[in-house]
Every structure is written in structure tokens, then in C-alpha cells.
Amino acid sequence: MGFLDIRSPTSLRSALSLGDESWDQTSVKSPFVVFTAPHESHPPLQHLVLLVCGAVLEVVCVSLPGYVIARLGHFDADKQKFLANLNVMLFTPCLIFTKLASQLNADKLVELGVIPIIFVITTFVSYTVSRVVAKVFGFNRRASNFVTAMGVFGNSNSLPISLVISLSQTLKGLHWDKIPGDNDDEVAARGILYLMIFQQLGQLVRWSWGYHVLLAPKDKYEEYANEVVEEGRGHPDEHETQGLLVGVDVNDLEEEHHRPGSPTHTDDSRVYEPAGRTPVGGTSRASPNDSEDEGHAGPLKNNATPPKNGLGHGVDGSLHQFEDHEEALNRILSFPRIRNDVEPETPSGIKGIPARIGQTTKKYQAKTVNYVASNARKTYDALPTPIQTALSGAHRVWLRVYGFLCEFMNPPLWAMLIAVFVASVPDLQELFFQDDTFVKTSITSAISSSAGVAVPLILVVLGANLARNTQKHEDTDPEEKEIGKKLLIASLISRMLLPTLIMAPILAIFAKYVPVSILDDPIFVIVCFLLTGAPSALQLAQICQINSVYEGVMGKLLFQSYVIWILPSTLFLVMCALEVVEWAK
């Protein structure tokens, strides 16, 4: 019953030799010769066009409300970021767990090893193509790296998942003959499984090589050193000098300038404005619109701190700074709160039992921790010096491993590991997914309900991201104005055209001659083709905003790829995939 059984070379040759005369004639032709002839794996061309258009329009219809709401000003960058993070933290892990844990087993895990191989080949082809295109256009190192990032990092999450789910419900030639009784839901589940593995591999490379090298800030390039100094990044400006002299945070001065009472402040929350660069922990880059947005809502800046002299005086010698801080906190916290450091008295009687239990628990917990720590220190001091050195080294190694896990691992990766563990233990898999178990009707059903929210929410945020990233940027880089159109064309060619033309024959050869049964799955072939020509990843827009890398070109690229070229590209990719499926039988 396993859908990933390895086919031996003998059975491969026998399978290729089977079939009637018409199939033998088709098998010797190229898979890209004729699309209009009727085939077993897909309907005629006219019907196929309608089905693919319907699948694409379904994605458009789900993401369109997010675009409209964002343009109306009700879905700003902070809300988009919150929903995207909520999706990554909760709904997407539920989706990964339900799809992977229900489909995998110990035998099938070996077959999935072909996915990293295809990922490496696709990445290498995209990298080579983008470098050649950048050289043909005559770009410098920074522009070439931008084109390379756009070409290498494709969307493997929001759009392909939605297309795979839609195609599994519309195309009837995607059922796998290796699985008795295969249905549309199983096809969609396998497609999501394949996409999730591709996605995690792409995330690993995107936020390491892509973030730190390909889309690095301008000041990381030596040829822009003089320009960075002229822009004021190398020396403190007037505000910074004034802040250093009087001992006041520069951000407080900027906040003072954009305070609602300031004559230059305008309060027009109905007009949608892009929310600027996405903040990242540990960085000090701020959006030009951050102060204006805070002027509307009144919250504190993350790095704004009151003066340390205890008087609360601002630059003008007034006390209004602390008062505004207090008002901002009152607006943020809608529930009553205690504004002093005095702990509330514990209620007497039954009402105070939970508070007293909590206080007692904290007291004994602190005593236990102190007792264990003191005894551990005494034991460590009593050990010989070589053992102390070994234990110290092991402790440092553990801290590094722990820090790496905390930085590298994310909820989708944890969900994938848990799903692999559950799928590897048959008893656990039966406990979670057998119909008559209590865990299936309670925990698994709850996880499945949350998983159903992931894809619609991804698409709504996709539409809102397009609305934000396609806005005009006022502070456009002069270099971007000069080569922006060339960058756009080169990025589209490097992402949606040339990799598809090069990878299509390679995928066809893999599907026909590599004896791995996963390559016989029609939905796997479609997934591979969709990823070779998918638009650039949406997370690249976030990285470009963080590092100030051709933000205007990035917005135009998203609009062109996700709105203009997505329909013909998807149609061509699906048709090629279906022809390869039939040619490789």
C-alpha cells in the first residue's frame, strides 16, 4: 500500500515495455511536442486551460480581499506581520503535522531523499542562469546579487500550496495507480508534503546566504563606501550630535518632532501608506513612517527610554515626556493595572487560596533552585582540575548547541520533526490518526481544524503584502532609478523563464529513468515544475525592506510576477508536467 516503493531496474524495464501500440508511439516522442492531442493523464487543451484558470482564479479570489482591505488602510504592515507570524507559529505547524504524520512511515522517509537532490540541482541551475543574465545586462556586484536572489529563491509556500490544492480538486489525472483507491484529498496531502520539504530547504538558504550575502545592505560593498558616508551613515548628523551633547536619546527628539501636537504632524489614518521596513530584533534601522504611525497610535518606541536624571525633563525642560509615556501605556493596556510597585494584598478566605498557593510554590521553587545550585557548585569545586576543565568544555558546547537550536529551529521545523517521529512509530501514528481513537477525535481533530486556516490566511496576507509592496517609495535610490527597469526584466527572466526551460528536460529524465517511485507520482512532478517557475519568494520583500535593497524594483517585481505573469506561467508549467507524467509512464 505504500506509495513510495522503490521500483527495481527489472520492473522498470518491464513497466516501460508494457502498453499498447499507441503508448509505444507516444513514449518515443518528446514530452513537449503536442499538447492538443487527447491523453489519459489530462483532458484536451481547451478544458485544461479552463481548469488551470479556475485554479489560479481561486487563489486570486482568496487573496483579493486582503489586497483591497490593505489599500483601504485597514490592514497595515504591523497587522500583516502579526497575522504572518501567527500563521507561522500556529496554523502552518498544524498543517505540516497533519499532512506529514498521516502520510509518512519509516519506509517512505528514505524515498524523500530525492527531494534535496532536486533542490540542489534547481538552485544550481537558477544561480548559474541569474549570474549569466546579470553579466549580459552589465550589472555591478550589488545588482547582480539582487538578480541572483530573485532567481534562486522562489515561492514554495503560499502560492504553490494553494495551486496544488486547487489542481488536486480539478484535474482528475493526478491519482496515483500505486495507491489503491487514491482520491483528491490524498493527492493534495502528498503535494503539501513535498512542498513543505522544499520550503524548509529554501528557508534555510534564504535566511543565511540570501539575507547576509545576496541582499546585504549597501554599506557591505566597498564600491559604495563613499556614497554611504555622504548619505550620513558614516558620521553622526545634527540630531545625533545634539543628543550626545545633552544626553537625550535621538529617537526621543524624532518622536518629539512627530508628536500629535507638532505643527508638522498630520493625522489622516484613512489614507493607506506603506509601513516601511520591517523591524528586526537587534537592529536599529527605523522606517521613515515609524514616527508618523506612532503619532497616530501614541505607543512608545521600542528603544525610547526616559532620561536617567530622574527629573523627567526633555530638551525644552518640560515634564511632558513622562506624561506622554504614561498616556501611551494607558492606551496600550485596556485592562486596569497597578501603577506602583506595591504588591496587592492576598484576599482572605477561599478567594485567596490560588494566590497563596502560587506564593508558596514560588518560595519553595526558589529555595530548591538555590539549594541545587549551591550543592552543584560545591561538588564542582571538589572535583579534580582535569574533570572541571572537561565539564566546562562540555557546558560551553551545550550552550552553543542550545543557542544554535534556538536560533535555527522554528515552529514549522519542530512540527516536521514531531511529525516524522509520530510517523516513524506505528503505534503513535495509529493513536493519532485511527478513526475510533479518543486522541483522533479530540487532539487530532483540533489540529486539523487549525490546519484548515493556514492556506486562506496565507493568501489573505499575500494580497495585503502586494498592496504594501507595490506602493511608490519616495526615497528611491538614484541607482535604482537608472537600472530599475533592467533589474526587473533580468529578475523575471532569471526566475520565471530560463530555469523552467532548463529544468524541464532534467525533470523529464528524472521521471523516466531514475528508479525512485516518488517520481511516478503525478502531483510530485507538478510540484517540481511549479517550483522551477514560481514567482520570487515574498520574504525577499521583507529582506529588501530591512536592508534597503532596491525596494521599488522589488515591489514592481511582485506585481509583475504575481498578477501579470502568474496565469500563463502556471498554465505552461502544468501542461509540461502532465506531458512528462504521461511520457514517463
pLDDT in tens, 15-49: 333 333 333 444 434 444 444 455 555 667 777 78
pLDDT: which is higher, 189 or 147: 147
Residue 455 included in any domain: yes
Alpha carbons 419 and 410: distance in angstroms, whole number: 14
Angle among Cα 443, 444, 445 to the nearest 5 degrees reads 90
At 502-529, the pLDDT tens digits run 999 999 999 999 888 889 899 999 999 9
Q: What is the pLDDT of residue 563?
A: 85
Nearest residue to 119 (alpha-carbon basis) of 192, 4, 204, 176: 204
Q: How far are the Cα atoms of 137, 177, 357 from residue 354, in angstroms, in the given order?
A: 70, 60, 5
Same domain, 306 and 369: no
Same domain, 464 and 475: yes
Does 542 have pLDDT greater than 90? no
Q: Are residues 69 and 135 in the same domain?
A: yes
pLDDT higher than threshold 80 for residue 408: no
Domain contains 556: yes
Backbone angles phi, psi at 309, to 5 degrees: -85, -5
Contact 249, 241 (CB under 8 A): no
d(CA 457, CA 81): 12
Report yes or no: 556 and 485 within 8 Å, Cβ to Cβ: no
* pLDDT recorded at residue 229: 60
Q: Residue 51: is its pLDDT beyond 60?
A: yes
Burial class (CB in 10 A: 0-12, 13-18, 19+), 177: exposed
Residues 114 and 88 in one domain: yes
Give bridge partners of residue 536 from the DSSP assignment. Answer: 154
Closest CA to 156 of 164, 166, 168: 164
Domain boundary among 283, 300, 332: 332
Asked if 157 and 209 sit in the same domain, the reply is: yes
| All three cell numbers of 573 | 508549467
Residue 154 bridge partners (DSSP): 536
Tell the residue number behind the cell numbers 522589488, with chain if given: 554
Q: Hey, how many other C-beta atoms are within 10 angstroms of the C-beta on 307?
A: 17
Give mean pLDDT, residues 71-94: 87
Identify the pLDDT of residue 500: 94
- Please state, in angstroms and rounded to a whole number, the distance separating the CA atoms of residues 90 and 538: 19
Range of the domain at 317: 247-332
With bands split at pLDDT 50, 70 and 90, how would you rate the model's confidence at 118? very high
**Residue 316 belongs to some domain of the structure:** yes
Q: Is residue 51 domain-shared with residue 180, that is, in the same domain?
A: yes
Is pLDDT at 201 greater than 50 in this prediction? yes
Residue 387 grid cell: 574533570
Confidence of residue 471 (pLDDT cuts 50, 70, 90): low
Average pLDDT over residues 538-558: 86
Lowest pLDDT segment from 331-335, 437-441, 463-467 = 331-335
Phi, psi of 154 (to 5 degrees): -95, 165
Q: How far, in Å, CA of 304 to CA of 255, rounded? A: 9
User: DSSP readout, 4-29?
Assistant: TPPPPHHHHHHHHH-S-HHHHHHHTS
Distance CA 3, CA 191 (A): 13
Higher pLDDT, 358 or 320: 358
Q: What percentage of the chain has pLDDT greater than the value 70?
A: 70
Tell me the pLDDT tens digit for each residue of 55-80: 888 888 888 999 999 889 888 888 88
Confidence of residue 470 (pLDDT cuts 50, 70, 90): low
The domain spanning residue 152 has which CATH number? Answer: 1.20.1530
Q: Are 303 and 273 in a shared domain?
A: yes
In a domain, 306, yes or no: yes
Q: Which of 133, 69, 177, 108 is nearest to 468 (CA)?
A: 69
State which of 387, 411, 435 marks the end of a domain: 411
Residues 166 and 181: their CA atoms lie apart, in Å, by 20
Output the pLDDT for position 546: 81
3-state secondary structure at position 69: helix
- Stretch 383-405: mean pLDDT, rounded? 88
Neighbours of 411 (CB within 10 A): 17
pTM of the entire predicted model: 0.64
Residue pointed to by grid coordinates 485511527: 434
Q: Do 502 and 366 fall within a single domain?
A: no
Distance CA 332, CA 352 (A): 29
Query: In terms of domains, do 133 and 211 share one?
Result: yes
Check residue 510 and give its pLDDT.
Answer: 93
Nearest 5°: the CA angle 93, 453, 537 is 65
Q: Are residues 455 and 572 in the same domain?
A: yes
**Integer Cα distance of 418 and 411 in angstroms:** 10
Give SS3 for 444: helix
How many distinct structural domains can be found in the chain? Answer: 3
How much is the pLDDT for 162? 84
Residue 144: the pLDDT is: 95
Task: Please provide the average confidence, as pLDDT, over all residues in the chain.
Answer: 75
Give the Cα separation of 79 and 129 in Å (integer): 37
Collect all residues with Cβ–Cβ distance below 8 Å to 531 and sequence separation of at least 6: 122, 154, 156, 160, 195, 198
Select from 393, 411, 429 the last residue of a domain: 411
- Please state which of the ranges 44-48, 56-60, 347-351, 539-543 shows the lowest mean pLDDT: 347-351
Q: Verify that 430 and 574 share a domain, yes or no.
A: yes
Give me the half-sphere count of Cα atoms (radius 13 Å) on the Cβ side of residue 578: 28
Residue 99 in any domain: the answer is: yes
Residue 257 lies in a domain: yes
Encode pLDDT of 258-290 as tens digits: 444 444 433 443 343 433 433 343 333 433 333
pLDDT beyond 60 at 319: no
Residue 288 pLDDT: 36
Residue 230 belongs to a domain: no
Nearest to 51 by CA among 176, 167, 181, 192: 167
Residue type, 179: I
Q: Which residue has the cell 551613515?
A: 233
Pair 120, 254 in one domain: no
**Per-residue model confidence (pLDDT) at position 505:** 94
Which parts of 450-496 are beta strand (E)?
Answer: none
Give pLDDT, residue 132: 96
Q: Indicate the helix (H) or strand (E) that contains 150.
A: helix 141-152
User: Whose grid coordinates read 504575481?
Assistant: 562
Lowest mean pLDDT among 126-135, 236-245, 549-558: 236-245
Per-residue pLDDT, averaged over 558-573, amounts to 90
Higher-confidence position of 202 and 340: 202
Q: What is the DSSP letter of 29?
A: S
Report the distance separating Cα 157 and Cα 480, nearest Å: 29
The three-state secondary structure class of 284 is: coil
Q: DSSP assignment of 505-556, as one string?
A: HHHHHHHHHS--GGGG-HHHHHHHHHHHSPPBPTHHHHHHHHHT--HHHHHH
**Size of the chain in residues:** 585
Q: State the cell numbers at 123.
A: 538552485
Concatenating the DSSP letter of every residue in 195-235 gives HHHHHHHHHHHIIIIIIIIIT--GGGSGGGHHHHHHTTSSS
Distance of CA 58 to the CA centre of its chain: 21
Instruction: Report how far residue 497's alpha carbon sits from residue 410's, in angstroms, rounded to the nearest whole number.
Output: 32
Residue 43 included in any domain? yes
